[in-house]
Amino acid sequence: MSKRGGHEVPFFVHKTNTMIALESVYQLVEQWLPADGEIFVVDIKITPDNKISIELDADKGISIDICAELSRFIEENLNRDEEDFELEVGSAGLGQAFKILRQYQKNIGNEVETLDKTGKKQHGILKEANENYFVLEIEKQTKPEGAKRKITIKEEIKYSYEEIKHTKYYFKVK
């Protein structure tokens, strides 16, 4: 307490929040990840007010138990007395755009939808994905010269990642 103008005024100690380092969270997540490589990190974000969001994926999908396990591990290894934080661990959603190459590779053989930077949407089978490009096999209707009816043909389109706004898993609604 201090005296100011004859009145006692309590001192408040204000803890200044320092932003948690992204690298330290990445290191913790890497430490926790199973050695088999089945589970992988899609994204980690930390806001200036220390809200940590971790997005995981796996070749066979992510369960809530896995998210809870990583959450507990992070909680145990970050000190709330030093840095106050909010933590959210989740899986990459089916309707979300792919963010990393591993998601493209995981979905080879699956039907996906792309939106290129010109605004053109395509959906087809993801055939190949590497560091530089991916290949989408689409079906289209064409009428051969002299034919009476259109036929369906398959065509492969090679996209660089720079050409694409997003690629997502494609849902068929029946």
Q: Which domains does the chain have, with CATH numbers?
A: 22-91 (3.30.300), 101-169 (2.30.30.100)
pLDDT at 82 exceeding the cut of 90: no
Question: What whole-number distance in Å separates Cα of residue 54 and Cα of residue 34?
Answer: 16
Q: What is the mean pLDDT of the chain?
A: 87
pLDDT in tens, 120-147: 999 999 999 999 999 999 999 988 888 8
Question: What whole-number distance in Å separates Cα of residue 52 and Cα of residue 50?
Answer: 6
Question: What whole-number distance in Å separates Cα of residue 58 and Cα of residue 102?
Answer: 9
What's the pTM?
A: 0.77
pLDDT at 17 exceeding the cut of 80: no
pLDDT at 15 exceeding the cut of 80: no
CB 92 within 8 A of CB 39: no
CB 122 within 8 A of CB 159: no
pLDDT at 159 exceeding the cut of 60: yes
Write down how long the chain is. Answer: 174
